[in-house]
């Protein structure tokens, strides 16, 4: 966070795309809620497909202070320990290694998906 001229705290954001394998989405969402609060319960709401495999996508602004938690296993582990999650550093390394984290969002998102052989899943109503 930084302060504006009036002394108010202003939250800084960075852009990130996070793509989580289906097998890990419940664990990831649980950790996100534990660390960031119930307001983040819907983390990675969009389904994407990689062949027959389902992944979950979140793309857009993220609080700058949270970025290390999705990019650095040691930072993720420290946050988990602080939040009381029984997670080891090795588990954090495995979790982040299994996920895709990319700084590109918005108009660049189709390229990110294409690089990983992914496409948006059809909506359930389709």
Helix, strand and coil percent figures for the chain, each rounded to 5: 45, 25, 30
The whole-number pLDDT of residue 1 equals 47
pTM over 0.85: yes
User: pLDDT category, 11, cuts 50, 70, 90?
Assistant: confident
Would the pLDDT of 10 be above 90? no
pLDDT tens column, 27-83: 999 998 888 888 787 889 999 999 999 999 999 999 999 999 999 999 999 999 999
* Contact call for residues 61 and 14 (beta carbons, < 8 A): yes
Q: What 3-state class would DSSP assign to 93?
A: helix
pLDDT tens column, 73-99: 999 999 999 999 999 999 999 999 999
Gap between the terminal Cα atoms of the chain: 42
Would the pLDDT of 113 be above 80? yes
Number of neighbours of residue 2 by Cβ within 10 angstroms: 9
More confident residue, 124 or 52: 52
Q: How far apart are CA 26 and CA 36, in angstroms?
A: 15
Would the pLDDT of 9 be above 60? yes
């Amino acid at each position: 966070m930084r302060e504006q001229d009036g002394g108010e705290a202003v939250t800084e954001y960075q852009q990130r795309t996070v793509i989580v394998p289906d097998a890990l989405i419940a664990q990831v969402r649980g950790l996100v809620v534990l660390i960031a609060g119930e307001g983040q319960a819907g983390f990675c709401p969009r389904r994407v497909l990689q062949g027959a495999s389902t992944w979950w996508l979140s793309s857009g602004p993220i609080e700058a202070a949270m970025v290390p938690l999705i990019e650095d296993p040691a930072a993720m582990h420290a946050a988990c320990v602080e939040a009381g999650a029984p997670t080891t550093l090795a588990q954090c390394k495995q979790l982040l290694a299994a996920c895709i984290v990319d700084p590109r969002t918005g108009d660049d998102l189709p390229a990110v998906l294409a690089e990983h052989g992914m496409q948006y899943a059809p909506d359930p109503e389709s």
